Structure 1
Amino acid sequence: MLVHGLGCHQQTWDPVIPLLTDSSEIIAMDLPGFGQAPDLDPGVPRNLETAMLWLGSVFTALGVERPDVVGPSLGGLIALHLGQAGLARSVTALAPAGFWTPAERRYTYAVLHATHYGVRLLPEPAFEALVGTAPARAVLTGTLYDRSQACPPQPVAAALRTLQHTPAFKATLRAGRTPGLFTGDIPDVPVTIAWGTRDRILPPRQAARARAMIPQARLVPLPGCGHVPMLDAPELIAHTILKATQPARQA
């Protein structure tokens, strides 16, 4: 089960999915208010408890019992909570959100807000022209990817359009201000925490805090990867996922 991060959509996983399908059945989904998924009703609180209930209902509707769950950033935090709730067979969290200090959270939010507003201000002709050039892609997405110049224009454009138009972006950020987004351990579920060494949104030093919270977790560095590593190094991400989920499938 592949879950995306804040401001992204299920197509974020497109570079990785072909590298996984020979050994796994893959389900990639849009969270409420992202991609093609409708947003939550206004009266429904946007918090991790709601996310757990929503995903639990999705698992039931799909007839999926305790899948291996993989997610970056917000998706990684959700994956950890699914593991803690006993709803995941294994968890692979790529730079999961929530292991920041107050100062780091303010920095992260400033970067995310600037990226969001900057992309929204681009007129359509300028957007198309800029995404088509490698230097402009580096400027637009340098906080998300480490190798943004080398990323193909189409997936970069799709990711930026999702960031432009997602109705859930601001509300999800507000919910993330809650202190203690993850506490406790996940003692009975295999956990892999992988972190891009070039992550400019959630610095890799936060990985040590996640490992301290979940002592049995396997900590994996992702050399040369940014915050959204699926475009930076799809083969490395696929290898990390397969290595993390194999013990769970054999158990």
Structure 2
Amino acid sequence: MATEVSFSIETPKGPRQVTTVYERRGAGEPLLLLHGIGHHWQAWEPVFQILAAERDVIAVDLPGFGESPALPEGLAYDLPTVVPTLRSFCEALGVERPHVAGNSLGGLLALELGREKLARSVTALSPAGFWTEAERRYAFGTLLAMRQGARALPVAAIDRLSRSAAGRTALTSTIYARPGRRSPEAVVAETLALRDAPGFTQTLAAGRDVQFTDDVPDLPVTVAWGTRDRLLLRRQGIRAKHTLPGARLVRLPGCGHVPMNDDPALVARVILDTSR
């Protein structure tokens, strides 16, 4: 059962209270898992138990996503706000410099935590921020279309579609290369998470000018890209390698944008290898 924690963050308007929801399992060195825009911590469920066999695994719903409430009014969903919020979240849990793995937006946040020396290691799966302007517009347009589609469908229709492989493909093939592997219950839950996320629009707006241009030296970094990623095209991994020359660049054969579902064993191995 997921847990809720509240903590204070410093803002230009003074201290503000933030609440987040997270799932924690396992034992060992801490490993923080960060999902992508419009998703929730359950995106990591396919790899959770594998990772928890070796790590104290903490998967968090980012503020304004999943079951975590929106940020306090007036706070931006940009990197200067969200990265310190994640630092405060770790402090509230008594965790110092966890290993961090993130997907998409979560991959960008993981790299930022590494750049700020707040992580022991970083595994970034199809991270945002290595796009050209045309690639960014394509990705954002696709995400907006997915959101609009989810909001247009009645819950009964989402449930009905989730019951067949073809329906799950229609709902999730943009992010999964093997959408038929996702359970009907998971597809319904993540479609509703995309539809209802209060932080979606502001997070997307904050990402318009984001470009990750700094190296992350002095700690292990892996950038991994699915060969069937239809949202952030895999050539962006080459740009990431040029920006992060010391990083390991890994191909994830047959995987889409959210690879944890497509090949759990491979993704877990990549994360654990980096954190070792």
TM-score range, shorter chain: over 0.9
1:188-231: CA deviation from partner (whole Å, max 9, x where unpaired): 11100000000000000000001100000000100000001111
Paired amino acid for 1:8: H
Q: Which residue of 2 aligns with 1:138?
A: 169
Q: Which residue of 2 aligns with 1:9?
A: 40
Q: Which residue of 1 aligns with 2:95?
A: 64
Q: Which residue of 2 aligns with 1:37?
A: 68
Q: TM-score, normalised by structure 2?
A: 0.87
**Aligned counterparts of 2:258 and 2:188: Cα–Cα separation in 1:** 14
**Aligned counterparts of 1:195 and 1:179: Cα–Cα separation in 2:** 19
Q: Which residue of 1 aligns with 2:246?
A: 216
The structure richer in helix per residue is 1
Q: TM-score, normalised by structure 1?
A: 0.95
- Taking structure 1 as reference, are residues 179 and 24 closer, same or farther at Cα in structure 2, changes over 3 Å only? closer
Q: Secondary structure at the match of 1:26?
A: strand
Q: Which residue of 1 aligns with 2:192?
A: 161
Q: Which residue of 2 aligns with 1:124?
A: 155
What's the CA shift for 1:163? 0.4
Q: Which residue of 2 aligns with 1:249?
A: none
Q: Secondary structure at the match of 1:20?
A: helix
Q: Does 1:177 align with 2:211?
A: no
What's the CA shift for 1:42? 1.9
Deviates more, 1:149-158 or 1:25-34: 149-158
Report sequence identity in percent. Answer: 52
1:190 to 209, 220, 227: 220
**Aligned counterparts of 1:60 and 1:80: Cα–Cα separation in 2:** 19
**Aligned counterparts of 1:40 and 1:48: Cα–Cα separation in 2:** 13
What's the CA shift for 1:158? 1.3
What's the CA shift for 1:36? 1.1
What's the CA shift for 1:179? 4.1
What's the CA shift for 1:13? 0.8
Question: Which structure has the higher relative contact order (CA within 8 Å, separation 6+)?
Answer: 1
Q: Which residue of 2 aligns with 1:106?
A: 137
Q: Does 1:87 align with 2:118?
A: yes
Task: Answer whether contact 2:77 2:199 (CA < 8 A) is retained.
Answer: no
Deviates more, 1:91-100 or 1:226-235: 226-235
- Give the superposed CA RMSD: 0.9
Q: Which residue of 2 aligns with 1:232?
A: 262
Paired amino acid for 1:237: V
Q: Secondary structure at the match of 1:98?
A: coil
Deviates more, 1:73-82 or 1:138-147: 138-147
2:183 to 131, 152, 158: 152
The structure richer in strand per residue is 2
Gaps of 5+ in 2: 1-31
Q: Which residue of 1 aligns with 2:55?
A: 24
**Aligned counterparts of 1:196 and 1:107: Cα–Cα separation in 2:** 18
Task: Answer whether contact 2:76 2:202 (CA < 8 A) is retained.
Answer: no
**Aligned counterparts of 1:242 and 1:9: Cα–Cα separation in 2:** 21
